[in-house]
């Protein structure tokens, strides 16, 4: 910030919009574009992918350790729902936890289904996030909370 004489807003933009996958790959923050670039031999895209998966596996391992194991591993939201490559890479090496991914199911998943083999001790599932429903439910709770509706409208 000091060296480049960045404002707080510029630093926020750098950290939140130009770092991560985009900063490492030099291509995009969209995992679909990263995977496409890897298939074309782009080494920076591969590095971005590998770092992303490494951090994901760190998170999975930390949660498994704090909970004493896993019953299920759930992939959701943009990358979790749509990137078979990320799911496969994240599950690779997690067999010691009981994770056994079914490669065919993983490649064809459209969400809301199990993608582990039947013998897997840990269920691996892809779920559609449906953020719009979660937001609508919370809004409904606020609007139907006794006495809240009038207060919310009056506070503008």
Question: Where along the chain do its domains lie?
Answer: 1-69
pLDDT tens digits for range 86-101? 999 999 999 999 999 9
pLDDT band (50, 70, 90) for residue 148: low
Q: Using H for helix, E for strand and C for coil, what is the string for the chain?
A: CCCCCCCHHHHHHHHHHCCHHHHHHCCCCCHHHHHHHHHCCCHHHHHHHHHHHHHHHHHHHHHHHHHCCCCEEEEEHHHHHHCHHHHHHHHCCCHHHCECECHHHHHHCCCCEECECCCCCEEEEEECCCHHHHHHHHHHHHHHCCCHHHHHHHHC
pLDDT digits (tens, 9 = 90+) for 121-145: 999 999 998 888 888 888 888 888 7
């Amino acid at each position: 910030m000091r060296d480049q004489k960045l404002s707080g807003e510029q630093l926020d933009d750098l950290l939140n919009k130009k770092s991560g996958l985009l900063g490492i790959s030099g291509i995009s923050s969209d995992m679909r574009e990263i995977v496409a670039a890897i298939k074309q031999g782009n080494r920076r895209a591969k590095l971005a992918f590998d770092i992303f998966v490494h951090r994901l596996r760190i998170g999975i391992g930390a949660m498994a350790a704090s909970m004493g194991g896993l019953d299920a591993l759930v992939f959701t939201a943009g990358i979790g729902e749509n990137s078979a490559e990320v799911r496969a890479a994240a599950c690779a090496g997690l067999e010691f936890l009981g994770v056994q991914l079914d490669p065919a199911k993983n490649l064809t998943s459209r969400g809301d289904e199990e993608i582990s083999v039947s013998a897997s001790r840990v269920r691996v599932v892809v779920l559609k996030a449906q953020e719009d429903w979660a937001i609508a439910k919370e809004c409904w709770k606020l609007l139907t909370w006794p006495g809240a509706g009038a207060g919310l409208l009056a506070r503008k």
